[in-house]
Copies of this chain bind each other. A is one copy, B any other.
Amino acid sequence: MAAAKLEDADALIDSVETFIFDCDGVIWKGDKLIDDGVPETLDLLRSKGKRLVFLTNNSTRSRKQYGSKFRTLGLTVDEEEIFSSSFAAAAYLQSIHFPKDKKVYVIGEEGIINELELAGFQCLGGPSDADKKIELTPGFYMEHDKDVGAVVVGFDRYFNYYKVQYGTLCIRENPGCLFIATSRDTVFQLNGVQEWAGGGSMVGAILGSTKQEPVVVGKPSTFMMDYIAKKFGITTSQICMVGDMLDTDILFGQNGGCKTLLVLSGVTSHEMLQSHNNSIHPDLYTNQISDLLAVKAATV
């Protein structure tokens, strides 16, 4: 069914207990707020007793680092309200009781390492492998740690062949080694200026050499939905998922049984939403989250 344009914000707000917001393209683009109305929008929702949750597939930062980013942008958000896919990787390993004597090889940036170490896991790789090169001389043999029991893969602008080969060796040669993806996003708005190849590239590279499908812990997998619902004791039908990407945010909301609101302030254009090639239809769409204010003002 085609998405409806958001007309009655009050009715939406009244019907929902928790709003889950994606961040890139919804709250901010790069280092700037999407628009000046973002703080007031969040304040309005809080004043109406709504629970706010911020959920990003961007694994480059930890929850703590995101908390600092929210503050820099003038937004008061508690770290406990922030769920990044870097945190999701750690939460997933905890949920399956991943043994603490096993190690995790990371293809990704410091957010993942920080969250895994905070949860007590031993990490290899990540930023420390950024400049490593392989000289494939005759007879060169690349060693790898046989105690690696999971390879976690997320967006990594310092991606290189060393990391591909290391992760591949762990997954192909260490019995039972897990392959965990923080996200498979094709592109994302990393610095707010253009689209950048996303975590889907790094995950695709490892899939290409192992033929093993990853466990995805970020959107659109429902792992974080179940986690958040359990943590706060809410049923997903009382949640509205707000995001700018159809195949991650909106699909995530639909997979979880939530209401869904697409904002056109990020990756998805109105044309893409209406395209015959698009099979993902949110309940509602609007230009940006501050429309929740504008619409409200118009109906007062």
Residues of A within 8 A of B (CB): 30-31, 134, 136-142, 156-161, 164-165, 168, 172, 184, 186-187, 190-198, 200-211
A139 to chain B, nearest CB (A): 6
What is the copy number of this chain in the assembly? 2
Give 7 A-B contacts (CB < 8 Å), ordered by A residue: A136-B157, A136-B196, A157-B161, A159-B205, A172-B187, A186-B210, A202-B205
Residue in chain B with minimal CB distance to A140: B191
Instruction: Give the distance in Å from the alpha carbon of A209 to the alpha carbon of B155 in the complex.
Output: 11
Question: Which residues of B lie under 8 Å from residue A207 when comparing CB positions?
Answer: 204, 208
Closest 7 CB pairs of A and B: A204-B208, A200-B208, A204-B204, A197-B209, A205-B205, A168-B197, A201-B205
Contact of A208 among B140, B156, B203 (CB under 8 A): B203
In the complex the two chains form, is A209's CB within 8 Å of B201's CB?
Answer: yes
Question: Which residues of B lie under 8 Å from residue A200 when comparing CB positions?
Answer: 208-209
Question: Which residues of B lie under 8 Å from residue A191 when comparing CB positions?
Answer: 136-140
A172 to chain B, nearest CB (A): 7
A199 to chain B, nearest CB (A): 8
Instruction: Give the distance in Å from the alpha carbon of A223 to the alpha carbon of B71 in the complex.
Output: 57
Instruction: Give the distance in Å from the alpha carbon of A113 to the alpha carbon of B221 in the complex.
Output: 40
Residue in chain B with minimal CB distance to A193: B141
Question: Which residues of B lie under 8 Å from residue A160 when comparing CB positions?
Answer: 159-160
A195 to chain B, nearest CB (A): 7
Question: Which residues of B lie under 8 Å from residue A184 when comparing CB positions?
Answer: 208
Instruction: Give the distance in Å from the alpha carbon of A158 to the alpha carbon of B187 in the complex.
Output: 22
Question: Which residues of B lie under 8 Å from residue A202 when comparing CB positions?
Answer: 205, 208
Instruction: Give the distance in Å from the alpha carbon of A203 to the alpha carbon of B209 in the complex.
Output: 10
In the complex the two chains form, is A186's CB within 8 Å of B208's CB?
Answer: yes
Question: Which residues of B lie under 8 Å from residue A190 when comparing CB positions?
Answer: 136
Instruction: Give the distance in Å from the alpha carbon of A161 to the alpha carbon of B161 in the complex.
Output: 10
Known: A31-B138, A187-B172, A191-B138. A161 touches B209 (CB 8 A): no
Instruction: Give the distance in Å from the alpha carbon of A184 to the alpha carbon of B201 in the complex.
Output: 15
Residue in chain B with minimal CB distance to A209: B197
Given contacts A158-B161, A159-B159, A168-B201, 16 further A-B contacts (CB under 8 A): A136-B191, A139-B191, A139-B192, A140-B191, A140-B193, A159-B160, A159-B205, A160-B160, A161-B197, A164-B201, A168-B187, A172-B195, A187-B209, A197-B209, A204-B207, A205-B208
